[in-house]
Structure 1
Amino acid sequence: MIRNRREKRVRYRSKREIVVCIDIGTTFSAVSMSILECGQPPRNSNIQEITRWPGQNVPSIKVPSIVWYNAEEVAKAFGSDDEDCLILEKIENEHWTPVVWWKLLIRPGHLQFLPALQEAIPGLPEHLDIKVEDVFRHYLAYIRSQIERHIIDSNANGREIWEDAKSHMTIVLTTPNGWEGITQHRMRQAAMDADLTKDGAKIKFVTEAEASILYLAQTGKIDGWLHRNNYIAMCDCGGGTIDITAYKVSASSSPGKLRLEEICYPRCCIAGSVFVNRMAEVWIRDRLKNTMFDDEVSIKRLLVSFEKSSKPSFDGEKPYVNLALGAYMTERAKDIHNGNLRISKKEMVTFFEPCRQAIIQGLEEIISIPDKPVKRIVFGGGFANSKYLFSEVRKWAETKGVEIARPDDPLEKSVTNGGIHWYLNSTIVGRMAKFHYGIEGDANFNPADPDMRGRETLVDMAGEKKVPYVFFVIVKKDTTISVDKEASAWFYRAFTDDCDKTVSLVLWAYRWGVPPKFMKKPGATKLDDGFLRICTVKGDLSKFYDASPYHESLNPDGKMFKYLQYEACLMLGDTEVRARLKWRSETSKKPIYCEASIGYD
């Protein structure tokens, strides 16, 4: 079982280990870590956070997710570096280019996107010949340098710890809901290129919402809701995304025994707090046009003030909020009063409205699940600090008879600390299938089957006619996938001695209702709408082939051949896909396994 393997690996490790959780946010990032000593059980009190980032005047858990590039496209500054006056001078004098919101550029293409916010995401600067993977790599390399500095500076034997464990660190990367497959692969590759680890298997993934609820469960703040058979939802409101996940408590909240099971597929909508900022920016630029404050320095200063003060403090009650302009003047047509840019309550509400609607729509879907009454919602994430947003969600909750809680623990560390808890303790025992999952394969041609007429056919090594592009469903949509159990499908294929024994199976997801038997229509060049390629499963069947008997007859080429009936076994209930292939001989009940690799295109 996956749970038992993880508990055994952590509790009985044979060498010192560093576990690091990195939360790359759209606007801010954070890092937590735990140093696990040989022969000692992990303790939650051992979790450390990086709170001293370069450039920061005031220590903080979070650091801006910004990278500055010079004219030669070299990453020269990161995070809070611009708070250092000397670096800020270089940024301005040498015209370094800031890259922001780059996390959203790696998002899966099928994610829900509010039309009102579609144009708000900036792309990479056109004059820079860089890819989003480059930005990830550069920023993660910066993160690695700060991990090293923190361990050495903040622990009595820090240098010894770092030198002893740096080569085999476990890295937990957090992602929004639904950022799977190819997105995880791109992030894993960036982490390896940044020298966080050379072993891709040491990089794990957990969703931000899952990490958040695990952290809050450890604090004891939601113990009153964590009773067996209760239903609870986590709404994680971040800078870029809104992530909502609902669980059934399948075991009590007693220490070390909490078990949660997803009851529906996790929601993710790109409607986080940055879009409030962007709508405010459009309004501010319009108001300050053709005034003495119509310059980038003034506008940037106002946007920082809006982000740090006006946005979180706005409660929807006061008639307006003020942004200090730095010069005493009044120009009512521009909403400038006594040296302040005045934003009316009506305008502020307009900035929040698309995000508010997205959150409430997602929560409406969660509480409407038949026979699974979700009446308790945990509200978290950096955006949850907004007084107005929380008050609006609470008003909605009261009309639905739903309880809502916003624990007062530092929300900035809930994801990274929760990621450490996730690694050390297997709390999630089941996840809900968001799509139909299946494997592409071939079927024996049956001329009597009307669905096979007009389709292309292939001839295998044994001379049998096959029809390709068959969708073999292994997990149906909206079913619970246990983290401990495999989903599988059987395949039947002929091989000769001189052919390659490596097989490649493509795992697909189908998004809509009932999946079709075939993945495309007769004569079509494209797959039907709704199919998403997840990954390719590869395995070497040589071990199976060597243990199998030859077929009694020869194939059409006069060669001896063997039929192999093997099973593709996939673990789909964890945060990443894992696979292996299984074969059982006719004379032995004991199966033979071979590991399979997961590849992403």
Structure 2
Amino acid sequence: MAPLARSPYTGESRRLVIAFDIGTTYSGVSYSILTPGDIPEIFPVKRFPHQGHVGGNCKIPTVIYYDKQGRVCVTGIDEFGDFEPDEVENWTKVQWFKMHLRPKSSAASDAADQITPLPPNKTVIDIFVDFMEYLYDCTRKYIQQTFPNQPDFLVSMDRNNAIDFVLTHPNGWEGSQQAQMCQAAVRAKLVPDTDAGRARVRFVTEGEASLHLCIQRGLMTPEMERGEGVLIVDAGGGTIDVSAYSRNLAAKEKNTFEEIAAAQCFFQGLIYVTNRARCFIENRLNGSKFQHNIKYIVNAFDKQSKLTFRDRPLYVPANSQEKDAKLGMRIGSLRLEKEDVAGFFKPSVNCIVDAVKEQRRTAKKTISTVLLVGGFAASDWLYIQLEISMKSLGVSIFRPDSNVNKAVADGGVSYFIDHCVTTRVSKYACGIRCHLRYDSNDEEHRQRSSQVFHDVDGSQHLRNSFSIILPQDTTVSETKEFRRSYYRKSMNRSDFGNLADRILCYKGSSPHPRWTDVDAGSYSTLCNVVDNGQLINTSRYVSNGDYYIVEYDVVLTFGLTELAAQYAWKENVSRRYISPETGPDRCLSLIRVLRNGLSFSFLIACITHNGFARCPAEITYDIQ
């Protein structure tokens, strides 16, 4: 497949797009200057202070050093020659901090237990702010040095709010993680702390960014040209992100793709191979005369040896001139048997193989090709083991040129410019916890008969029903709607002045979740929706006493990069929608919420039988 051919930029004025790929172990930046009438080009930032030749001059270590006062000392450098700054100058080295932003789940928590704690009095947001400031400063200097004939270019872009930022993140990151990254971008002064400023921060999953990168580089196979599925396995430092796509042969645009299975994310990246090696080496050498060499050996394994491992013993530099055959210590190195080293890799290998099987099982099209990208893809051992497993499955696996593995930020810019993915698959069932009218003919209802309560109108109801609005594993396009009808009743009209809802997602194994108190740990709050207004025109009904009722529909729609939630209501029998086009008298405040590379726009209204009630809303996240 030929590399992606772009059309000229059709915007009315120049814009600058900058993508940050803040990885667990390495980071990079790419950018594009969008000029009306010109075909956009994507460029990586190739010069960073202290960088040397890491990643072909396109990547820097995701590392920051702080002094005792918490001030940044050095950023983007991993080694200081023959001495450790935390020992010599009492600096604190912070690495792998991205993993502290992980979602709240048992798997993520178990993975985070293996990560070095953050420094005292520093939050993960604080560290993201410092690192973003550094990346932005390097990017500005690089652009200024690259375009010396346009000294006022960046000043003009800043003044006109014409700089857009794309932040890549693992497939498993959710709204809470994106909200925190957006907060860091504001604090790092990438954008102002306004709705318009935050709207200039976009998110894309690393899996989708990798797809855009592969399309951009022309890495599609003949099978993919025919519309068969391709699996992007982005094996990075912290996570392994698995995403399945296929070409949309019915689309007018040639390079249009659709997601064909729900994306997955696993905490089995390269750092966990290092952690397993660390535990093994510590168990072997603790209490021996080589105990003081453990830190050096683990660091040498991480930086030099692990990616060179093949089907033979591995000799890791040990910084010792003594020998001990029983411990495997030779002069200058520690011998690790191939079976032991293979064990360090095995959980990651098994994770990818199992993920490929699951994606092929659930995908809406045949998957015949796997593209292995990311820093972990540089491991020959990983590739060979996967090649053996994929052959038995009848799947071809390819490992693109290493330069592709260093340019996820390029894919982030391509995502912004090209928008190759037009449909996605919902990862979880999304809905609302509500009361359900009791049905004596339903077996599950009868089992819950002791929990029946009477509503204000005298009808029988059950609590803890999960009302699904957007089902799991559903293909969602730009114009497709998902909606459910709801109502609220109360004896007191004032109760509607503070309406609140939780949008829930179910992450468990049940194909048809019905009750939020069954497998309760698998439900989590996507966001909180709170009405700050007052209901004015609620209708009044009489049934076993006076009560008030508010009726409404919750509508979910999915655009190219946005999943929007609205309340719809009936007015004069016909159904109307709340939207920005309806004007200030019909429209309530628009709150932009970010999740999974998508922009959630929630427009909240309360619905009455006779008319419209104005109810502004807030969206909040449970952030820990």
TM-score scaled by length of structure 2: 0.80
AA at the equivalent of 1:72: Q
1:89, distance to aligned residue in structure 2 (A):
7.6
Worse overlay, 495-504 or 236-245: 495-504
Whether the aligned pair in 2 keeps the contact of 1:435 and 1:512 (CA below 8 Å) is no
AA at the equivalent of 1:586: N
SS at match of 2:529: strand
**1:317-360 deviations in whole A, cap 9, x for unaligned?**
xx323334455544323323343332332232122122112111
1:33-182 map, 5 Å: 33-37=31-35, 39-43=36-40, 46-58=41-53, 60-80=57-77, 82-83=79-80, 91-110=86-105, 112=107, 120-125=114-119, 128-157=120-149, 159-166=151-158, 167-182=161-176
Equivalent of residue 335 in structure 2, options 337, 342, 359: 342
Whether the aligned pair in 1 keeps the contact of 2:503 and 2:529 (CA below 8 Å) is yes
Which residue of structure 1 lines up, in the alignment, with residue 509 of structure 2?
Answer: 512
SS at match of 2:140: helix
Relative distance call for 1:109 and 1:289 in structure 2 (3 A) is same
Whether the aligned pair in 1 keeps the contact of 2:224 and 2:246 (CA below 8 Å) is no
Whole-angstrom distance in 2 between the partners of 1:11 and 1:285: 56
1:277, distance to aligned residue in structure 2 (A):
1.4
Whether the aligned pair in 1 keeps the contact of 2:372 and 2:398 (CA below 8 Å) is yes
AA at the equivalent of 1:600: Y
SS at match of 1:26: coil
AA at the equivalent of 2:23: G
Whole-angstrom distance in 2 between the partners of 1:464 and 1:159: 72
Which residue of structure 1 lines up, in the alignment, with residue 430 of structure 2?
Answer: 437
**1:360-403 deviations in whole A, cap 9, x for unaligned?**
12122223347732111111111001011101101111122211
Whole-angstrom distance in 2 between the partners of 1:235 and 1:23: 17
AA at the equivalent of 2:170: P
Relative distance call for 1:539 and 1:426 in structure 2 (3 A) is farther
AA at the equivalent of 1:566: Y
Whether the aligned pair in 2 keeps the contact of 1:55 and 1:84 (CA below 8 Å) is no
Equivalent of residue 535 in structure 1, options 522, 527, 542: 527
Whole-angstrom distance in 2 between the partners of 1:283 and 1:494: 61
1:170-569 map, 5 Å: 170-198=164-192, 199-251=197-249, 257-286=254-283, 289=286, 294-295=291-292, 299-316=294-311, 319-326=312-319, 328-369=321-362, 372-443=365-436, 450=445, 453-455=449-451, 469-493=464-488, 503-510=499-506, 511-520=508-517, 528-538=520-530, 551=539, 564-569=550-555
Whole-angstrom distance in 1 between the partners of 2:529 and 2:109: 34
Structure 1: tracts of 5 or more residues without a match: 1-6, 522-526
Whole-angstrom distance in 2 between the partners of 1:154 and 1:300: 41
SS at match of 2:142: helix
Whether the aligned pair in 2 keeps the contact of 1:458 and 1:468 (CA below 8 Å) is no
1:149, distance to aligned residue in structure 2 (A):
2.2
Which residue of structure 2 lines up, in the alignment, with residue 524 of structure 1?
Answer: none
1:253, distance to aligned residue in structure 2 (A):
10
Whole-angstrom distance in 1 between the partners of 2:60 and 2:328: 33
Relative distance call for 1:333 and 1:520 in structure 2 (3 A) is closer
SS at match of 1:437: strand
AA at the equivalent of 1:107: R
Whole-angstrom distance in 2 between the partners of 1:13 and 1:468: 51
SS at match of 1:120: coil
Whether the aligned pair in 1 keeps the contact of 2:102 and 2:108 (CA below 8 Å) is no
1:310, distance to aligned residue in structure 2 (A):
2.0
SS at match of 1:263: strand
Relative distance call for 1:479 and 1:588 in structure 2 (3 A) is closer
Whole-angstrom distance in 1 between the partners of 2:453 and 2:244: 45
1:112, distance to aligned residue in structure 2 (A):
4.0
Structure 2: tracts of 5 or more residues without a match: 1-5, 580-586, 591-602, 604-617
1:243, distance to aligned residue in structure 2 (A):
1.3
Whole-angstrom distance in 2 between the partners of 1:331 and 1:590: 80
Worse overlay, 582-591 or 258-267: 582-591
1:574-585 map, 5 Å: 577-585=563-571
Whole-angstrom distance in 1 between the partners of 2:275 and 2:291: 17
**1:533-563 deviations in whole A, cap 9, x for unaligned?**
1112346777xx77x6x6476899989x7x5
AA at the equivalent of 2:132: L
Whether the aligned pair in 2 keeps the contact of 1:443 and 1:470 (CA below 8 Å) is yes
1:405, distance to aligned residue in structure 2 (A):
0.8
**1:442-491 deviations in whole A, cap 9, x for unaligned?**
4567899856744475867x999976543221122222122443322223
Relative distance call for 1:168 and 1:330 in structure 2 (3 A) is same
Relative distance call for 1:13 and 1:118 in structure 2 (3 A) is closer
Relative distance call for 1:538 and 1:578 in structure 2 (3 A) is farther
**1:97-120 deviations in whole A, cap 9, x for unaligned?**
1122221222123364698x7853
Give the aligned CA root-mean-square deviation in angstroms. 3.7
1:272, distance to aligned residue in structure 2 (A):
0.7
SS at match of 1:251: coil
Relative distance call for 1:589 and 1:387 in structure 2 (3 A) is closer
Whole-angstrom distance in 2 between the partners of 1:135 and 1:110: 22
SS at match of 2:525: strand
Whether the aligned pair in 2 keeps the contact of 1:30 and 1:412 (CA below 8 Å) is no
Whether the aligned pair in 1 keeps the contact of 2:261 and 2:364 (CA below 8 Å) is no
Whole-angstrom distance in 1 between the partners of 2:89 and 2:99: 27
SS at match of 2:516: coil
Whole-angstrom distance in 2 between the partners of 1:177 and 1:30: 18
Relative distance call for 1:572 and 1:104 in structure 2 (3 A) is farther
Whether the aligned pair in 2 keeps the contact of 1:105 and 1:132 (CA below 8 Å) is yes
Which residue of structure 2 lines up, in the alignment, with residue 3 of structure 1?
Answer: none
Whole-angstrom distance in 2 between the partners of 1:253 and 1:83: 53
Relative distance call for 1:470 and 1:330 in structure 2 (3 A) is closer
Query: Could you tell me the percent identity over the aligned residues?
Result: 27
Whole-angstrom distance in 2 between the partners of 1:142 and 1:592: 42
Whether the aligned pair in 2 keeps the contact of 1:315 and 1:391 (CA below 8 Å) is no
Relative distance call for 1:502 and 1:414 in structure 2 (3 A) is farther
Whole-angstrom distance in 2 between the partners of 1:458 and 1:574: 44
Worse overlay, 436-445 or 224-233: 436-445
Whether the aligned pair in 1 keeps the contact of 2:568 and 2:576 (CA below 8 Å) is no
SS at match of 1:440: strand
Whole-angstrom distance in 2 between the partners of 1:501 and 1:508: 22
1:249, distance to aligned residue in structure 2 (A):
2.1
Worse overlay, 439-448 or 16-25: 439-448
Relative distance call for 1:329 and 1:230 in structure 2 (3 A) is same
**1:126-182 deviations in whole A, cap 9, x for unaligned?**
xx1322222222222222222222222222355422212234532222121221122
SS at match of 2:266: strand
Worse overlay, 443-452 or 429-438: 443-452
